[in-house]
Structure 1
Amino acid sequence: MTEVDLPRADARASRYAWYVLSVLFLVYVLNFIDRQIISILAEDIKRDLGLKDQDLGFLYGTAFGVFYALFGIPLGRLADNWHRVRLMAIGLSLWSVMTALSGLSRTGGHLAAARIGVGIGEATASPSAYSIISDYFPKRLRATALSIYSAGLFVGGGCSLFIGGLIVQRWNAAWPDGGPLGLVGWQAAFMAVGLPGLVLALWITTLREPIRGLVEGLPEPERHPAPFRAFAGELLTIVPPLTLIGAAMGGVKALLINVAGLAAVVAGVLALVSIGEPWPQWAAVGTGIYAVFSWACALRRRDAPTYALIVGTPAFLCTVVAYGFNAFTAYAASFWAAPYAMRELGGTPSSTGLLVGGLGAMAGFLGLTIGGVVSDRLRRGNPAGRLWVVIFGAVVPVPFLILAFTAVTPVPFYIGIFFAQITASCALGAAAATTQDMVLPRMRGTATATFFIGTTLIGLALGPYLAGRVSTLSGSLSTGMLALLVVSPVTLAAAIAAYRLAPTAEATREARARAAGEAI
């Protein structure tokens, strides 16, 4: 792959940059088709595999999300040190194969294993894409570009519901007792959306790798001499139980801190299990928390400048928490909307997929695009201006979620879902661009992976599961969804704190990196 010259920060983005963005948008569409299709298939999977709502929340959110977050960090570091285009192509191939293999599942355990594989593969996408986009687009267009890319989230989610609903309904009508290879409708749907990703992976390999930092007028960083050795070393910091080896390599003090963190997490998990909580959910979440703790401790020892600009920056962390809790309710709503419409309102898979998926795709695309453009304009006169959009996304969706998940007829449900998604989705591009602006170009992949911890460990791994858990205990999916709104004050408080802290964090970026040992 060749590298191309890019315009300076005060120039327009090139036509090729917009072409790259369009291809990356398609990747993210497929990313969310493969991730989200389980929503429209949930009722059939629940029946055929004998599962509960809490199990569905675990399969959709936790099994996928924890490993997405866990591997996102070392893969983010690999994106910082190696060819981002190649990494994305490899990851796309992996998650496409694992999505297809989901169609061969015969038990909940089999499906959970496949979802873990999808999570690991998809962990390559956004760290690579965010970094590529940030090196193709100048700062003044970055939120717009990232918002367009991120709109693939809702377009893909919408397409997955329509495609999945259509396939499962027609397949089951044609073969009520199972079709070719004994597959039922939901299994065929997984295969139908998984295999095309292999073709898109070949297309990705034709993209050119941008020069890091050139769009901001910064000198190109030196190439890492051994990116895969660094990646293997990164795995020692985050994949249990290898984390104990990694900690021991840092000395006795580092090992003791790591063991203390592990003991605290184990104690928390055992406490939850002792009061009747399902152990797979909290063992997985505990694994994710311990892994991230181990990684953060190791990052502080091994790369002090990156630690200082990410983990050591309160503005960065507040932005992650604010959007993480936005995702907490947004992911739950996007997963449970289709089952709610089918279960409570009598919708069929195809009609529900068309309406929930179509409205979700439209709302998400509009929300992200408008939110990105507005946040870029707000930034022109205020370094923290983008965070007004994050604050908006923390407050405004709440009444629409209440309207949707208390509805007893279709019209208020679909109105509520549409406006909840359009007002929540506007915050993603603004939050992502804010975190990218707080770090140096070589740190963008790691910053992206850290940002997505908020949307996985906080949002994806907890939101859908807790809604399903409350639904299982109460017998009401409406109660399960509404219970999640108790986090709204935390979301707002974190967004306001980020707004107050962000200008100083960005203004002192280079100075703090230099003080931590960065050679700039």
Structure 2
Amino acid sequence: MSATDIHTSRASHTVLALLVGGYASIFLGRQIMAVMIEPIKLEFGASDTAMGLISGLAFAVAYALMGLPAGGLADRHSRVRLLALCGVVWAITTVICGLAVSFPMLVVARMLVAVTEAPVTPASLSLIADLYPARNRSLAISCFTAAPTLSAIVGLSLGAWVIDTWGWRTGFHIIATPPLLISVLLALAVREPPRGRFDNPLHAGAPGLTLWRSAGQLLGNPHYRKLVAACAWFSFSGLAFAMWNTPFLIRSHGLSLQSAGILAGVVTGCSAAVGGLFSGWLSDRLNVRSPAWLLGLPLIGTGFTLLSMLLYLLWPPGIAFRVGAVDVPAAMLWCALAGFFTMWWVAPCFNLLTQMVSPWQRATAIALQTICTTLAGIGLGPLLTGALSDLLLPWSGGESLRHALLLVHLSLLLAMFLLWRLYRQQAFAPAQALPAT
């Protein structure tokens, strides 16, 4: 490796670290809602369905409305400057959440937060594709997508302690600070990399399509549609579980808010972070042998995720041991195993997506994917789980949330079916890449 390559590699790693830190800080605002559900519900007298609305659908609708324009901005303007601006405005809107004096005001504030988040994922992943070649991209993507699991550890464990001690409003005020610092570093220290420098020269030219024509071309590709639909089903079950796991441990295993938050954050967060990074590392190595592994690896991981999740949700209550003041149910073994495999789809699927499209369509393609996963995961996942829990209450009693989560996680079978169809159709083949114009 030449001195220039080493310098480029170090610079890429530095920018990646800032992107991971910024994404983790922003995603903390979503994760901490899981330990805010019970205190917010108590203060405003809200139902499970209403809490599913504020933690899910209201956020997702605002995010989706801004998603495509945000992707277009990232495809046509400086992604670094866009991310820096988003971090500043995100902090302001998060502080407003902590100042809410009514439930409707909090809903509106959460929607404003969603608007500022919309450009973050498409702009960041578009940058990563110009920081790393395809052969090393899965690991870099897995580092970025591991950010939510890192924020889950803080949001569900330390966040539970903060909220239990000082209240949910203070939680919002504290998490508003880190994105401001990272925005300053991005604005002052990071240069925009050349767009498409690692891509096929046929795909690396200037943009030739408007935003809406580009989106139409993407949606006209059946392989792209199937991949996005599979990602949406993954998010539907995964984010429903992330949002309701803490209340599940409280209701079905009799844990305190602090113990449940710590376990949900540390066990699920750590296992998901390790599993996601491992799948990214493994994907890069298997991809050298055959690009078919970009679909094969998510299929294997999803099978193990579904089996582990069913065992976790069906496991009877019972404390296996204590760690300090925290009671650890025996079921947490299966929760850790499910967490390890639940992120196996992310890095390979995103790597495949970045190779399907032109560099000048990449942020738009990721934005469309993010819109679908946000509506399905953040929007419908928590809301439908809460509604099912309310609906099953007359028959299931205190176990209604357990049964609701069981039904929601059967949706992983649909994601597996879509990935299998893509595998059979060889959607990983280079010939399926979309043209630039």
User: How far 1:393 sits from its partner (Å)?
Assistant: 3.3
Counterpart of 1:496 in structure 2 is 420
Q: Relative to structure 1, is the Cα distance of residues 314 and 351 closer, same or farther in structure 2, using a 3 angstrom cutoff? A: same
Q: What is the CA–CA distance in structure 2 between the aligned matches of 1:168 and 1:463, rounded to whole Å?
A: 24
Q: Indicate the residue corresponding to 1:396 in structure 2.
A: 304
Structure 1 pair 39–6 and aligned structure 2 pair: CA distance change class (3 A)? farther
Query: Partner of 1:442: helix, strand, or coil?
Result: coil
Q: What are the superposed Cα offsets for residues 119-149 of structure 1, whole Å, 9 maximum, x if unpaired?
A: 1111111111101110010110111100111
* Match runs of 1:163-242 below 5 Å: 163-171=158-166, 185-205=167-187, 206-216=189-199, 218=201, 221-222=205-206
1:22 partnered with 2:4: no
- Tell me, in whole angstroms, the C-alpha distance in 2 between the residues paired with 1:321 and 1:451: 8
Report if the CA contact (8 A) 1:76-1:449 is conserved: yes
Taking structure 2 as the reference length, the TM-score comes to 0.90
Q: Which has the higher mean CA deviation after the structures are superposed, 470-479 or 497-506?
A: 497-506
In structure 1, what is the Cα distance between the partners aligned to 2:27 and 2:428?
35
Residue 331 of structure 2 aligns to a residue whose secondary structure is: helix
Instruction: Give the total of aligned pairs.
Output: 417
Deviations 1:214-264 (A, max 9, x none): 12363864489xx9xx8xxx6xxxxxxxxxxxxxxxxxxxxxxxxxxxxxx
Measured in 2, the distance between the counterparts of 1:6 and 1:457 equals: 43
- For residues 154 and 464 of structure 1, the distance between their equivalents in structure 2, rounded to whole angstroms, comes to 17
Judged with a 3 Å threshold, the aligned counterparts in structure 2 of structure 1 residues 110 and 324 are, in CA distance, closer, same or farther, namely same
Structure 1 residue 348 displacement after superposition: 2.7
Counterpart of 2:284 (choices 368, 376, 390) is 376
Q: Indicate conservation of the 8 Å contact 2:269/2:339, yes or no.
A: no
Among 299, 317, 328, the alignment partner of 1:408 is 317
Q: CA deviation at 1:6?
A: 8.5
Structure with the greater alpha carbon radius of gyration: 1
Structure 1: stretches of 5+ with no match in the other structure: 172-184, 235-298
Give the partner amino acid of 1:481. L
The 5-angstrom pairing of residues 22-421 of structure 1 reads 22-171=17-166, 185-205=167-187, 206-216=189-199, 218=201, 221-222=205-206, 299=212, 302-303=213-214, 307-308=216-217, 310-406=218-314, 407-409=316-318, 410-421=328-339
Query: What percentage of aligned pairs have identical amino acids?
Result: 29
Q: What's the CA shift for 1:471?
A: 0.5
Residue pair 2:292, 2:428 contacting (<8 A) in 1 also: no
**Counterpart of 1:441 in 2: which secondary structure?**
coil
Distance 2:392 2:7 in 1: 55
Rounded to whole Å, the distance in 1 between the matches of 2:4 and 2:361 is 19
Please list the CA deviations of residues 435-492 of structure 1 after superposition, one character each: whole Å capped at 9, or x if unmatched: 1110011111011111212321222211111111011111211111111133233111
What is the SS of the residue equivalent to 1:214?
coil
Q: Give CA-to-partner distance per residue, 1:170-206, whole Å, 9 cap, x none.
A: 22xxxxxxxxxxxxx0111111112332222112212
Q: Which amino acid aligns with 2:413?
A: P
Aligned: 1:459 with 2:377: yes
Alignment of 1:413-452 (within 5 A): 413-452=331-370
SS in 1 for 2:413: helix
Code of the residue aligned with 1:312 in structure 2: it is: G
Classify 1:169/1:76 alpha carbon distance in 2 versus 1 (closer, same or farther; 3 Å): same
Q: Take 1:377 and 1:135, find their aligned partners in 2: how far apart are those partners? A: 20
Are the counterparts in 1 of residues 206 and 360 from structure 2 also a CA contact under 8 Å?
Answer: no
Shift of 1:504: 6.6
Which consecutive residues of structure 2, in runs of 5 or more, have no partner in the other structure?
319-327, 394-399
What is the root-mean-square deviation in Å for CA atoms of aligned residues?
2.3
Q: Could you say which residue in structure 2 is the equivalent of 1:485?
A: 409
How much has 1:503 moved relative to structure 2?
4.1
Asked if structure 1 preserves the Cα contact closer than 8 Å seen for 2:156 and 2:262, the reply is yes
Shift of 1:505: 5.8
On the 8 A contact 1:6/1:136 being kept in 2, the answer is: no
Q: Residues of 2 paired with 1:12 and 1:314: CA distance?
A: 40
Change (3 A) 1:421 1:465: same
Q: Structure 2 CA distance, aligned partners of 1:217 and 1:437?
A: 9
CA offsets 1:388-442 (integer angstroms, 9 cap, x no match)? 1221233221222223223423423322222212111111111111111100111
* 1:277 aligned partner: none
465-474 or 445-454, which moves further after superposition? 445-454
Look up the SS of the partner of 2:99 in the other structure. Answer: coil
Aligned to 2:324: none
The letter for the 1-side match of 2:86 is G
CA contact (8 A) 1:34 1:193 kept: yes
TM-score (norm 1): 0.76
State the shift of 1:350 in Å: 2.7
Contact 2:252 2:402 in 1 (8 A): no
Helix, strand or coil: the match of 1:14? Answer: helix
Query: What are the superposed Cα offsets for residues 96-125 of structure 1, whole Å, 9 maximum, x if unpaired?
Result: 222221111222211111111111111111
